[in-house]
């Protein structure tokens, strides 16, 4: 989970703490927790894409 948030932070050019807050506010952390068994098998690019998609469905604006 830490690695996924760190990769998202790098993608979004955010500090890790701010990236975690954004993902938590837009239900992406919950998604990652619920689907970790599958997500940890994917590349970081795919995981970041999934986090962006889930966050966007909850009002997130990072694309």
Q: What range defines the domain where residue 36 resides? A: 8-57
Which residues lie closer than 8 Å to 13 by C-beta, 6 or more apart?
Answer: none
14 confidence band (pLDDT: 50, 70, 90): very high
Residues in the chain: 63
Residue 53 lies in a domain: yes
Report residue 37's pLDDT band, with 50, 70 and 90 as the boundaries. very high
- Give a yes or no: residue 17 inside a domain: yes
52, part of any domain: yes
Report if residue 2 sits inside a domain: no
CA-based nearest residue to 62, from 53, 2, 7, 28: 53
28 in any annotated domain = yes
In a domain, 1, yes or no: no
In a domain, 63, yes or no: no
**pLDDT band (50, 70, 90) for residue 4:** very high
pLDDT band (50, 70, 90) for residue 31: very high
Total domains present in the chain: 1
Q: Would you say 55 and 62 are in contact if contact means Cβ atoms under 8 Å apart?
A: yes
pTM for the whole structure: 0.93
């Amino acid at each position: 989970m830490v690695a996924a948030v760190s990769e998202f932070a790098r993608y979004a050019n955010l500090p890790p703490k701010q990236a975690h807050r954004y993902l938590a506010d837009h239900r992406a952390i919950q998604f990652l927790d619920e689907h970790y068994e599958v997500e940890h098998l994917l590349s970081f690019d795919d995981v970041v894409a999934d986090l962006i998609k889930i966050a966007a469905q909850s009002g997130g604006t990072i694309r």
